[in-house]
Every structure is written in structure tokens, then in C-alpha cells.
Amino acid sequence: MNNLVIDIGNTYSKLAVFKQKELLYFERLEKIEEDNLLKLIAEYEIVSSTISSVGNQIDDLEKLLKQHTTYVRFSTQIVGGIKSYYESPQTLGLDRWAKVIAAHCLYAGQNTLMIDAGTCITYDVLTANNEYFGGSISLGLNMRFKALNHYTGRLPLVAWDKTQEVIEEGNNTQNAIKRGVLQGAVNEIEGFIALEQKRNSNLKVVLTGGDSLFLNKQLKNSIFAAHISHEPYLVLKGLNEVITL
């Protein structure tokens, strides 16, 4: 039995096919075409499916999946043994809740801090007792670069290379912006990790999201490095778990 899970974010959509917990297929794309989705369903003999979307315009996709698969509508009402204290679950991003479910299934019995570095950087903690109290939302890296350009008269919009190993010195305006944004984000992440370690002992830190590989490289010499793991498919794995709950 193969499952199709779809994560529609602010910038990209991600598709994945799982056979139980094994990832068989992954694709990141700007727009989901229905014809290509039907081919994928047929090729992998998809039985069940679900969607997480940051927006609400998924009616056509849901209709297609209902016609060709056993569709599970994902919402924050699906708890799977997690005790949530979030005051407004109807406003909680489904991608954030999918990560919480993933942590519950993949890291059971551990205090887990999930850091998702995408359009925004989000921080969410699931305790070893399966309690969720909420988290934090911060600016993503590209958003920080754009904000400096947009809200100032002279600062340029700086492009940056996710493959670089070391943050450059700020010896000119462009490098000063790069260093301020990138080192600032690293310092922010280290600060959140330190804060959560005070609150939750034996903390496991999981990095995910489009910019997570770059940040993982920057954090490799951090005092927290031993506690950090990189899991690029955390949301998708959480959605796959949703189908079996």
C-alpha cells in the first residue's frame, strides 16, 4: 500500500510517495499539475493520500484525490495521542502540526525541538510527555534580505549562495548584509536551542526546511552540534504518519 502526501508551502509544493515508512519518491515544484499527479497516482499505485497547505485553495486537488485514492483530510483535530495546549488550533499552520506528529512518531519519549527554516523560521517543541505548548515564528533568510532592501533607501538586495561553507566577513556592504543576516539567523537558532535546553533536558534538535542544509553546516561547530540532526522530509513524514493514525 503506497501513500501520497503533499505539502503546499509559501514558495514551493512538495510531493512524496511512501511505502509504509519508506520514502519511494520525492519532488519539489512550483505548481502541481493535475495530469502529472494522475500519472504519479497510477505509476505508484497510490491507495491513500493527504495534503498540508498554508493556504485554503485546495478544493480541486482534494476532489481529484478523493476520486482516485482514499483521501484523509488533515487538520489540527488529528492528535494521535498528543496533548495540545495551543489556544487557537484553527490558526496553527498544518505544516507545523505535521512536524509535531512526525516528532511524536519518530522520536517518541524525547524532548524534541523542531526548527523549520523555510519562508519563515519556525520553532516548535514536543515534550517527552507528548505535550505541545506552541512555538515561535521568525523571519526566514530570504525575507530578511528582502526586508533590508525594502525598508532602506540604499541597501541592495543581496543574493546568497546556500552552498557556501563559511559566512563571509563584512568587509563591504554586500558582505556586511550577508554576515548580518546569516550569522544573525545562526545566533538566533543557537539562542532558541539554549533556551529550550534550560526548559527541557536531553533535548533533541531537528532541522528541516529549504534552508536547513545551509544552517546545519553553519551549526556543525556549535556547542549544540551533537544534539542536532538534519531531517529534510520531516513534514512529509508527519503527513505519512497521519494516514495511519
Among all residues, which ones are annotated catalytic? 95
Contact 180, 151 (CB under 8 A): no
Cβ–Cβ < 8 Å for 75, 167: no
Residue 152 burial (CB < 10 Å; 0-12/13-18/19+)?
exposed
Q: How far apart are CA 230 and CA 216, in angstroms?
A: 7
CA atoms of 166 and 182, how far apart (whole Å): 10
- CA atoms of 113 and 200, how far apart (whole Å): 9
Q: What angle do CA 36, 39, 41 make, to 5 degrees?
A: 110
Please tell me the distance from the alpha carbon of residue 222 to that of residue 155, in angstroms, as a whole number.
30
State how far the alpha carbon of 181 is from the alpha carbons of 1, 72, 87, in Å. Answer: 45, 39, 32
